[in-house]
Chains A and B, each alone.
Chain A
Amino acid sequence: MRVILIPLPPRVRLTSSARRVAALVAAAVIGASCGGGEALPTTTSASAETVPAGDADEATETTGGGVTPSAATPAAPIATTTIWADITSAVLCGVAVPAIVPVGADPHTFEAPISARADIAAAGFVVANGLDLEEGLLDLLETVEADGTVVVRMADHVEVLDHGDDHGDDHGDDQHDHAAGDPHIWLDPMRVHDAIDAIVDAAVTAGHDADAVAACADSYRAELTALDTEIAEMVAMVPTAARQLVTNHDALGYFADRYGFEVIGTVIPSTSTMASTNPADLADLAALIAATGVTTIFTDAESSDVDAAALAERLGGVTVTPLLTGSLTSGGEDGRDYLSMMRTNADRIVAGSSAGDS
């Protein structure tokens, strides 16, 4: 058995649907050619290794079951993204939590296989981000919820920020509730800290050991608080005037909110990587970067940065630094779990923001 990491289409704009089709077809072909592999990456917070779902189940059965079959062990939940899978795993004392969107994929654009329904059916409950982050999974989540599966939307449990420049999207819709607001809540560790009660509640309702989960949640909250302190100390090295961020898509609102930064501009004027750039906004952004002396454009590791790179090259003296915004990484230590991912991001943001001042 091996883990298939389907190469996802790069960030694809609506204007380049053909490119997206090609990438999807490529993904389908590559996926189909990997004969025999049917593993869903799962995340266990303890080791944070990506292991096949089947192996994880067997492991759980042998350790949990002992001599007698353990009918009492409740099913592990499933998460939409690798980040929420890792956080959920930590809260549930290291139980393996699979993610629907694979490592390295952009949660905004991922198109699910139908086997995701089976994975959800096998799970105790679903941990989703909400606020339309998982654009390709909206219908899927609504359907399984209508069938009685508990879907915990983490964004329902935090104070939500509006998207920087709102397009006044006050359209009525009779079928779906349309989330307004920036979905990237996990980029503020203290919002995660406050929201994990929702995972605890759902887990206890699903039959997990309440005392054990409460203890694990407490110790994870302590780690989140320590992470928050650490990032705050790192950020303190950046002069207040230099705490200005230019990003690829509008993903860093919560980080900025927490650590006293301001997102002064984004290459893609949207909280979704599915939106496209327009020349007027790009020209404004170039003028803004020149006027403020910002030297770094922070992009998303899991989606395309062609427009940001072109802008940086045109301006000169501006570098493009990828951040781990939407997914954990499979290799290396930088993004193997949520905590290290956030440290890596904070490192790169501090380095990028300080570059112009030295």
Chain B
Amino acid sequence: MRWLTDPWDWWVVPFVDNPFMRDAFLAAGLAVVCTSLVGTWVVLRGLSFLGDALAHGVLPGIAIAYVLGVSTTLGAVIAAVAMVGGVSLIRNASPLPDDASIGVLFVGFLALAVVVMSAGAATGDLNRFLFGSINAVSGDDVVELAVIAALTLTAIVVGHRALLIGTFDTVQAAMAGFRPRATHLALLVLVALSIVAAFETVGSLLVFAFLVAPPATAALLARRVVTIMVTAVAVGVASALVGLLVSFHHRTASGATMALTTVVVFMLALGARRLTVSRSH
């Protein structure tokens, strides 16, 4: 209960005393800004499963890039784009519903990553990608994440009207001169970029929590899209903060603790909402 009884010591002192805590919070905070902004559209458009598939779909790109000795970030981006392309290819070429084509590619990509890694015998690095390395974040990483967060914010603001209309009425969007399919693809690329930006902080296995949990929490609490986005960013940043502090004070694995916090916050919001809804009836 020290977070209540001695709030200064629990909440502030770790950041005052430790530069790495400031870097880690900045990195996690910037990553969660990217994922919360993009994730709002993922949640509102019902693309969560595709988001999850993308979060894991970057792994084979990383694995192959690693074995070839090229940039793993580049590999991750290529794999994510391949996943997006593959999903629309399967959707257009088959009568299957979306979730089936996503599922097939999802598991295919994940399996490919494990096979490539087992042949390349590089478990140490797979560990790093699965679980991230927020503990090792440095100033350079923060600058890189700040740039990506700024780009994401710009894209979300510029594309806002197209995304808004396309989300709720594709026919009207097409008539109004927005191209719903191009908008959709652009959004998926944004999702991929935010995942690539964020997976180094919490890891590929858990980055999906950053993408979906804060916007889902916000969607419980707010109705307007912009309000949801702002709330999602606030919830995400707060979750990252609490998760980092819990990891710091209680020695739990840092990436997993942050991811778990986002989900706990969602559950709390859900509980609070049910309480208020049942009271108003």
Contact = CB atoms under 8 A, between A and B. Distances in A.
Contacts of A118: 14, 17-18, 20-21, 248
A115 B247 contact: yes
Interface in B1-43: 1-2, 14, 17-18, 20-21, 24
A113 B250 contact: yes
B130 A115 contact: no
Interface in A292-334: none
A111 B251 contact: no
A32 B24 CA distance: 19
B121 A38 contact: no
B254 interface: yes
A117 B20 contact: yes
B68 to A, nearest CB: 7
Contacts of B256: 21, 24-25, 27-28, 111
Interface size class of B (residues with CB under 8 A): 35 or more
A237 interface: no
Given A138-B128, A274-B127, A32 B136 contact: no
A89 B69 CA distance: 39
A118 B249 CA distance: 11
B261 to A, nearest CB: 9
A14 B206 contact: no
Contact of A113 (B125, B137, B253): B253
B189 interface: no
Contacts of B133: 139-140
B257 A21 contact: no
B252 A17 contact: no
Given A114-B247, A135-B127, A167 B119 contact: yes
Nearest to B245: A114
B232 interface: no
A352 to B, nearest CB: 27
A40 B250 CA distance: 10
Interface stretch (A70-78, A170-178, A198-206, A257-265): A170-178
Contacts of A28: 246, 252-253, 256-257, 260
Contact of A171 (B66, B123, B250): B66
Interface string B114-126: 1001111111111
Contacts of B234: none
Contacts of B248: 113-115, 118
Main secondary structure of the interface of A (DSSP, over half): loop
B251 A270 contact: no
A8 to B, nearest CB: 10
A172 B69 contact: yes
Contacts of B17: 118
B138 A272 contact: no
B123 A139 contact: no
A29 interface: yes
Nearest to B2: A36
Nearest to B114: A14
B205 A17 contact: yes
A146 B68 contact: no
A114 B244 contact: yes
A114 B69 contact: no
Contacts of B127: 109, 135-136, 138, 274
Given A135-B127, A275-B118, A115 B251 contact: yes
B80 to A, nearest CB: 19
B67 to A, nearest CB: 5
A27 B255 CA distance: 12
Interface string A123-151: 00000000010011011101100110000
Contact of B250 (A17, A25, A32, A142): A32
Nearest to B72: A175
B260 A135 contact: no
B131 interface: yes
Nearest to B203: A111
A38 B253 CA distance: 14
B135 interface: yes
Contacts of A17: 130, 205
6 contacts: A24-B131, A35-B1, A109-B127, A135-B123, A272-B124, A274-B124
Closest 9 CB pairs of A and B: A172-B69, A139-B136, A31-B252, A139-B133, A111-B253, A143-B136, A274-B123, A135-B124, A114-B254
Given A116-B135, A274-B123, 16 more contacts: A6-B252, A32-B252, A109-B127, A113-B250, A117-B135, A118-B18, A121-B20, A138-B124, A138-B127, A139-B136, A143-B135, A146-B138, A169-B122, A171-B66, A174-B70, A272-B124
Interface of A: 4, 6, 14-15, 17, 20-21, 24-25, 27-29, 31-32, 34-38, 40, 108-109, 111-118, 121, 132, 135-136, 138-140, 142-143, 146-147, 167, 169, 171-176, 178, 270, 272, 274-276
